[in-house]
Every structure is written in C-alpha cells, then in structure tokens.
Amino acid sequence: MKEYNMILKEKAKKALHKKAAYGSDLELSASVSDQKEQPLESLDNLDKRIKEVSLLSGMITDETKRSGSFYQKGDSVIYEKVQEAYSGKVEIMKIEDALQKHSWLQEYWWQMVPVDMDKYTAQVELLGRGGYFIRILPGAKVDKPIQSCLLLDESGSSQRVHNIIVAEEGSQAQIITGCTVSPDIKNGFHLGVSEFYIKKGAELTFTMVHNWAEDFHVRPRTGILVEEDGSFINNYLLLQPVRSIQSYPRAVLAGKRSKVRFNTIVYGQGQSELDLGSLIELKGSGTTGDSISRALGTEQSNIIMRGRLKAYNNKARAHLECRGMLLSTEAVMDAIPELSVVGAPEADLTHEAAVGPVDEEAVEYLMSRGLKQDEAVSAILQGFMHTGIKGLPEILEETLSKIFSNMSEKVI
C-alpha cells in the first residue's frame, strides 16, 4: 500500500499545474494553515455567529433530530459524534482516522475521482487535511439525517478536504452537509474531493448547501458509484454570492436497475461565475438517471449549466433538464445539454433546455386571482426553483422564501 500511495503522490505532483477542463483557472497558494482548533464537547458550544452561518448551511445544534454529526473548522476536525441510538448503524470520523481503522478503505481511495484530474485534486492529495468518512452499515435504516459542516474562518486561507461516503448493502440514509465561512471572511479557496460508494440495494440522499463569500473560489470534485438496485439522490443548493464555483460530478450506474437523480438549485448574484453540471454514465441494464437544474441569474452573474448523459446499455433511460431565468440585463446564462450513446441503439435519452424571463402572462393571471404583483412574482420564482428537495431544515426553507421575496422586488 505504501507503493500505491507513492504512485498517487507522484501523479499529483505532475498535475499541480494542470488546468481543469471547465471553469476559470486559478492560481493557488501552496501554504497550509497552522491554526489549531480545540475539539467541542457539544455543538451548543459553537460561537453564536458560527451557529448562525452553520444553520444557514443545514447544520443544526439540536442533535436529537440528527443521527450523527461532523464539524470541521479550517483544517481541524472539532466535532464528530454518532447518537447512541444509531451506534452500530452509522460511522462518522475524520478521514485520516478512518484510513487507520479500516485497511480496506484504501481500495476506495481515489477510485472515483482521479488524483491527477487537475491542479485542485492534486492539491487535495498533497496538502489536504481532514474531510469526513461516513459509513452506513449493512441493512441499517437510519431515520434521522446525518449532518456535517465544513467551515473556514481565516481570510485568504484554503481548505482542502477528501471525503468518502459508503452506503453498505441494503442501507438507507440521508446526509445534509454544508460548506460555509465565518461572517467576516471575504476571500479564500475551498477544494473538496468526495467519493460515494452506493452498494447493492442501498439508498442514499445527499443534500449539499453552499454559503460562501463574494471573493471565494470553490472547486469540488465528486465521483459516485452505484451498484445493483442502488439509489442515489444528490441535491445541491447555492444561496449566497461567490466569486467562482466549478463542479461537474460524475455518477456511474454500474449495477442492474441502479438509479441516480441530481437536483441543482442555483441563485447567481453579484459577479459570481458559476460553472455547474453533472455526468451520468448508464452502464448496467435497466439503469435510470435524471439531472434537473434550475438557475436564477441576477446582477452581473455568469452561469453555465452543463449536463451529459452517456448510455452504454440498451435498457438505459435518462432525462436531462436545464432551465434558467434571467432577472437582469447584465446577467449571462448558458445551458449546454449533451446526449451520448455508445453501442446501445435502444437506449432512451432525452433533454430539455430553456433560458428566459419571468412569464408576464403568468404574473397577470395570478394577480387576477387576488395576488399582489410582488406576491405573484415570488410565487412564480418559488415554483420555478422547486425540484422536490425534501428534508431541509426549517431555517433553510425560511431563507429560501426570503430570497424569493427579495428577488421579486428586483424584477418589479
């Protein structure tokens, strides 16, 4: 295994200046923070302002409503806990400890995301610290969400993490994870590698909430493997301004009747550059996939919505939907759907793509039913952005409603 790790290091070193396939190129610092944080005995001990931004990222301090929690501040893991009722059903720990405890985990290390994909994966391998390991044990039915939060509280710093999530055979669970910054932080980088392994008959719903700062750059790299009869739902929400994000998760449906769904909700603000998409590879017989994106562009935001479906099996079926709404004359939006079939002429792949304004006729109709103009616009925006995401904390639902109300004022 030492030889394998040396090979990874060498590959990463060669890729340190390799540009990503998509998104603006960034010059990254090679520095690592020496700031150390003390572990917490309880999430209630978080600073009040940190609690507030954590809540807006889906992290709640009332752990009676969660099966387990993980919290990383900068490079320091300050909290990891599984509730007693879920002991033997869920494992949560920082990735370094997991690699020490489970020798078999090396077989999953950098398997779904190439270490030399680009300079960002290379930095995670060479300079990364922390990240979480979450495992749902075989047959476990976890009825309360697992939660995690990755926070940066030092301006100009970088967070480089590697996460591995394993949903063992026949298990069921939901994970809500947030990435955010302290209120005073204005700039920095977040590089995150996440590898998901959904075993036979397992079901996992993963909701990611991003709340960044206006001069922040984010480069997540994600790979998902779904085995026979496995199911994976990926929800992504971007609620706050950010300088740039580039993300293109890849899901491989390897097993028979495996399925995946991507739900993406993006609110472009300020001068944000958002290059987001997904790739679904349908390899097993009877596999199904859906990728649904909704984007609102305001101010000077620049949004690219990508999506690719690639079928290798005649009994594969998938649908891609990219819809955007522009609320500013200075906003820019592109929708780029791709369908690809390899040796499977009977595969069924479909797509829809649309970019346009708020429907004036729909506004007039709702006003004729008694709504005020701002209420009508807000209702249309909420309906447009709704993609069926379930289980969000109440504070997030309230925040989304406020965002739509504020946007309706801009439209009017």
C-alpha to C-alpha distance for 125 and 333, rounded to whole angstroms? 33
Query: Would you state the pLDDT for residue 77?
Result: 96
Angle at 289 between CA 286 and CA 294, to 5 degrees: 165
Mean pLDDT of 93-101: 97
Mean pLDDT of the chain: 91
C-alpha to C-alpha distance for 259 and 275, rounded to whole angstroms? 24
Question: Strand, helix or coil at 8?
Answer: helix
Query: Would you state the pLDDT for residue 309?
Result: 98
Is 80 exceeded by the pLDDT of residue 229? yes
Higher pLDDT: 345 or 154? It is 345
The dihedral through the CA atoms of 183, 189, 195, 201 has a sign that is: positive
Report DSSP state, residue 277.
-
Spatial CA neighbour of 103 closest among 221, 207, 5? 5
Spatial CA neighbour of 392 closest among 55, 113, 133? 55
Tell me which H or E stretch contains 403.
helix 394-411
pLDDT band at 292 (very low <50, low <70, confident <90, very high): very high
Query: Would you state the pLDDT for residue 412?
Result: 54
Query: Would you state the pLDDT for residue 156?
Result: 84
Structure tokens at 172: 């069921």
CB of 322 closer than 8 Å to CB of 294: no
- Range from 4-8, 69-73, 125-129 carrying the lowest mean pLDDT: 4-8
Query: Would you state the pLDDT for residue 319?
Result: 97
In the chain, pLDDT over 90 holds for what percent of residues? 75
- DSSP E strands in 95-212: the ranges are 132-136, 146-152, 158-167, 172-181, 187-198, 203-211
* Residue 102 CB-density burial (10 A; 0-12 exposed, 13-18 middle, 19+ buried): middle
What ranges do the domains of the chain cover? 2-355, 358-412
Residue 349, CA distances (Å) to 255, 293, 318 in order: 18, 16, 5
CB of 307 closer than 8 Å to CB of 292: no
Structure tokens at 186: 């204005």
C-alpha to C-alpha distance for 287 and 231, rounded to whole angstroms? 10
Query: Would you state the pLDDT for residue 155?
Result: 84
Is 60 exceeded by the pLDDT of residue 17? yes
Q: State the residue for tokens 């398997």.
A: 111
Spatial CA neighbour of 153 closest among 72, 58, 208, 42? 72
Question: Strand, helix or coil at 325?
Answer: strand
Q: Which residues pair with 147 in a beta bridge?
A: 69, 176
pLDDT band at 1 (very low <50, low <70, confident <90, very high): low
Report DSSP state, residue 110.
T
Residue 383, CA distances (Å) to 32, 50, 167 in order: 43, 31, 32
pLDDT band at 381 (very low <50, low <70, confident <90, very high): confident
* Residue 205 CB-density burial (10 A; 0-12 exposed, 13-18 middle, 19+ buried): buried
Q: Which residues of 75-88 are buried (b: 16+ CB within 10 A; e: fewer)?
A: bbbbbbbbbeebee
Structure tokens at 396: 């997030």
| pLDDT, tens digit (0-9, with 9 covering 90-100), for 131-174 | 999 999 999 999 999 999 999 988 888 999 999 999 999 999 99
- Range from 26-30, 248-252, 395-399 carrying the lowest mean pLDDT: 395-399
Query: Would you state the pLDDT for residue 9?
Result: 96
Torsion of CA 171, 390, 177, 237, to 10 degrees: 140
C-alpha to C-alpha distance for 134 and 92, rounded to whole angstroms? 5
